[in-house]
Amino acid sequence: MRPTNPLPAASRRRSPALLFTCSSSPLPVALLAWLIPGAGHYSLGQRPKAVLCSALILLAFLAGLAMGRARNVFIGPGRYAAIAQAPAGLVALASFAYARAQGVAGIPGDLPRSSYDVGTLYTSVAGLLNALLVFDVVIRCYERKLGKRIER
């Protein structure tokens, strides 16, 4: 006969592997959260929130990139949308590098302006949402360090 475990099933679940912790500084976790959307929450043990946020941000960014035919994410003079797109992390950095390699510098002639603008809006919103997630990770790190909830 096998010995029974007196703990309920929920207590016996293994906690997720923590890649980074907030023990000394929230900077490593914040950097991870910026580079890969949702990874900061995953490293803090919040798997469902991490998966949901990662999926939503990446889908929004990739949908916007598809709408603009990968020509709406670039850095150039007067290109202020890049400031909002950059917080999307590695996917934005890869898009910037691709645009630079391809010589992208504006709206292609065969692409409707509305599609380009909506695509730019999607990628910008995805970047700004990831910036909010980074701030949330930093706050959660400080909450763990202080041992109490910070009013938001």
Cα 57 to Cα 62: distance, rounded to the nearest angstrom:
9
Determine, yes or no, domain membership for 12. no
Measured between alpha carbons, how far is 113 from 134 in angstroms, rounded to an integer?
Answer: 32
Domain that holds residue 107: 25-146
Within a domain: 48 = yes
Residue 30 falls within a domain, yes or no? yes
Query: pTM, whole model, 2 decimals?
Result: 0.79
pLDDT digit string, tens, across residues 6-55: 444 443 444 444 556 677 788 889 999 999 999 999 988 899 999 999 99
Specify the 3-state DSSP secondary structure of 87. Answer: helix
Select from 16, 64, 23, 68 the least CA-distant residue to 42.
16
- Sign for the pseudo-dihedral over CA of 101, 106, 109, 110: positive
Q: How many CB atoms are closer than 10 A to CB 27?
A: 12
Is 8 a member of any domain?
no
Q: Any idea of the CA torsion for 11, 14, 18, 22, to the nearest 10 degrees?
A: 10
How far the first Cα of the chain sits from its last, in Å, is 52
* pLDDT value of residue 114: 75
**Does the pLDDT of residue 152 top 80, yes or no?**
no
What is the residue whose two structure tokens read 């997720």? 16
The pLDDT assigned to 10 comes to: 45
In 3D, which of 137, 133, 119 has the Cα closest to residue 53?
133
| Count of domains for the chain | 1
Inside any domain, residue 64: yes
Q: Could you tell me if residue 7 is inside a domain?
A: no
pLDDT at 11: 39
Residue 4 lies in a domain: no
* Residue 73 binned pLDDT confidence (cut-offs 50, 70, 90): confident
